[in-house]
Structures are given as structure tokens and as C-alpha cells.
């Protein structure tokens, strides 16, 4: 069994067994929730992606590159790649406004991080922060995964992701995989090895209409597969040269998808 399945399903079971029923939230769909859930993975040993259901790895990586490499807010650029996860939040101008990639670009956050990792790796201020208060109102959606904090220890790149709100059935599997990829990419272009990836979820919730799907996934726990391997094109030396073809999974075995509703 992959460690990702075990740690993730432990949180799912805890929410279903002990979660607080909350019928007042932005979406209007009640949730079961718990605060402060944490998963940690050693990326040198295993790549974290669920096998107890299919996770659309390529779609997740395309969104990751759209945010951090392209630093875009243009939903049409995702649609051109057959990625439609932002369609429901697209504004009249075809963008998501001052959210995500726009904020990365506005404050030159990737270049500053790479510069620090290469030239001042013991800097304790290395972070990417998407929660920029002056620009929150101009975005289609306040960022969920809003903060990454970076550390270099013993030649290894460690990352802590802070997620203010985590849709555990749908969002969290995407996010854990995306940011693990980001650690690998940044480690590669800065001459480091991937280290710890710690995923902190402030509000971990399961929507009421997702409970049956989660119980189906729990039933597969004893039939989970081993984790796949991540392959990245080692010939790429510049972060901005990565494409979706340079990032692949090897031997990703998984159970079928589980259809669940997205709360908008």
C-alpha cells in the first residue's frame, strides 16, 4: 500500500467518525469537518498519489504549471489543454482575476524563491504567499492552498504547504500530488534533492453529498497498490522550460475513479 493512501484514508475515517457537522458555509452544502489535519511524506522514498481511486495526474500538473510556470489567470489557456477545473469560477473576462498565477507573477515569487534556493539556501524567509490582502477582492476565489514555506537541510529541499480549506474527496488528492511535483521540479533546477513535503489543512472537510463516495474508497483500502515513481526530464535546467511532457508517472496502478460533486 502507498503511504499516501494510508495517511489520506486515516484522515477520511477520522472525519467521518469524529467530524463536526457544519451546515453553514459558503457553498450551502453541509460538511463534516475537522481542523488541523497534517500529512507528511519523505519524497526521497515515495511519491504521494492515491491508488484507491484514480487521480488525474496530468490535469493536476497542467494546473500546477499554469499557476507557477505560466503564472497565468487565463482560464482559456487551461481549456485549450482540455482542463476545465476552473470553468465554474471563470469571470466575464475569461480569467480568475487577481488569484493564484496572477499573484505569483505580480510579486515575482518563483524567481525570488529560486534565487534564494541557489544563493542563500539557509534563508528562513523563503515562501510563496498567494494570500495578498489588497488583491483578494479582485479574484474569482480566495486561494485554498495559499502558502508554501521552504527549507534546505542537508542538501534536501523541504516544503510545508498550508491549505486554509481542503475539500478532502476532490481537492486534497490533487493538491498533495501537485505540490509534491513542485518540490521535485524546484529541487532539480536548484541542484538539491527532494526532501520532506508536509501538507497542513486548516479546515479538512467532506461534503454531505460526498460521503458515499468516501465510504467506497475506504472499502478499497486493503487493495491499495504500491506508489508509482515520478519521472522528470533531467535535461531541463530552467524551471520555465518544463512542459507536461517532461513530468510523468511510471507504473501508476489505481482503482477506478469515484464520481463526486464539486461544491461551487
Which domains does the chain show, CATH number per domain?
3-250 (3.30.572.10)
Mean pLDDT of 76-89: 96
* Residue whose cell numbers read 465554474: 88
Q: What's the pLDDT at 42? A: 98
Cell of 174: 490533487
Structure confidence at residue 264 as a pLDDT band (50, 70, 90) = low
Mean pLDDT of 110-127: 98
List active site positions: 144
pLDDT in tens, 39-71: 999 999 999 999 999 999 999 999 999 999 999
Q: What's the pLDDT at 181? A: 98
**Taking Cα atoms as reference points, which of 173, 145, 166, 147 lies closest to residue 15?**
166
The mean pLDDT value of the chain amounts to: 97
pLDDT of residue 262 exceeding 80: no
- Using CA atoms, how far apart are residues 168 and 53, in angstroms rounded to an integer? 13
Left (φ > 0), alpha (ψ -120 to 50) or beta: where does 82 sit? left
- Using CA atoms, how far apart are residues 5 and 104, in angstroms rounded to an integer? 31
Q: Which residues, 6 or more positions from 164, have their beta carbon under 8 angstroms from its beta carbon?
A: 131, 142, 143, 144, 146, 202, 203
- Using CA atoms, how far apart are residues 111 and 105, in angstroms rounded to an integer? 9
Neighbours of 134 (CB within 10 A): 8
Structure confidence at residue 27 as a pLDDT band (50, 70, 90) = confident
Mean pLDDT of 167-180: 97
Amino acid at each position: 500500500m502507498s503511504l499516501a493512501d494510508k495517511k489520506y484514508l486515516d484522515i477520511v475515517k477520522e472525519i467521518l467518525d469524529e467530524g463536526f457537522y457544519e451546515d453553514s458555509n459558503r457553498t450551502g452544502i453541509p460538511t463534516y469537518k475537522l481542523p488541523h489535519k497534517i500529512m507528511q511524506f519523505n519524497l526521497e522514498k515515495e511519491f504521494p498519489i492515491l491508488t484507491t481511486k484514480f487521480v488525474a495526474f496530468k490535469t493536476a500538473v497542467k494546473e500546477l504549471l499554469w499557476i507557477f510556470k505560466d503564472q497565468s489567470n487565463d482560464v482559456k489557456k487551461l481549456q485549450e489543454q482540455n482542463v476545465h477545473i476552473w470553468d465554474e469560477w471563470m469571470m466575464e473576462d475569461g480569467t480568475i482575476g487577481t488569484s493564484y498565477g496572477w499573484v505569483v507573477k505580480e510579486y515575482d515569487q518563483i524567481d525570488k524563491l529560486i534565487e534564494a534556493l541557489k544563493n542563500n539556501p539557509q534563508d528562513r524567509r523563503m515562501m510563496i504567499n498567494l494570500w495578498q490582502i489588497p488583491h483578494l477582492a479582485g479574484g474569482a476565489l480566495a486561494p485554498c492552498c495559499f502558502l508554501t514555506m521552504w527549507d534546505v537541510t542537508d542538501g534536501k529541499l523541504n516544503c510545508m504547504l498550508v491549505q486554509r480549506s481542503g475539500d478532502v474527496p476532490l481537492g486534497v488528492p490533487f493538491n498533495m500530488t501537485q505540490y509534491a511535483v513542485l518540490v521535485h521540479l524546484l529541487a532539480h533546477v536548484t541542484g538539491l534533492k527532494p526532501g520532506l513535503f508536509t501538507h497542513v489543512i486548516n479546515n479538512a472537510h467532506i461534503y454531505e453529498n460526498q460521503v458515499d463516495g468516501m465510504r467506497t474508497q475506504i472499502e478499497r483500502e486493503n487493495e491499495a497498490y504500491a506508489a508509482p515513481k515520478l519521472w522528470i526530464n533531467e535535461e531541463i535546467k530552467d524551471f520555465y522550460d518544463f512542459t507536461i511532457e517532461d513530468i510523468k508517472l511510471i507504473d501508476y496502478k489505481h482503482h477506478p475513479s469515484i464520481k463526486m460533486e464539486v461544491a461551487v
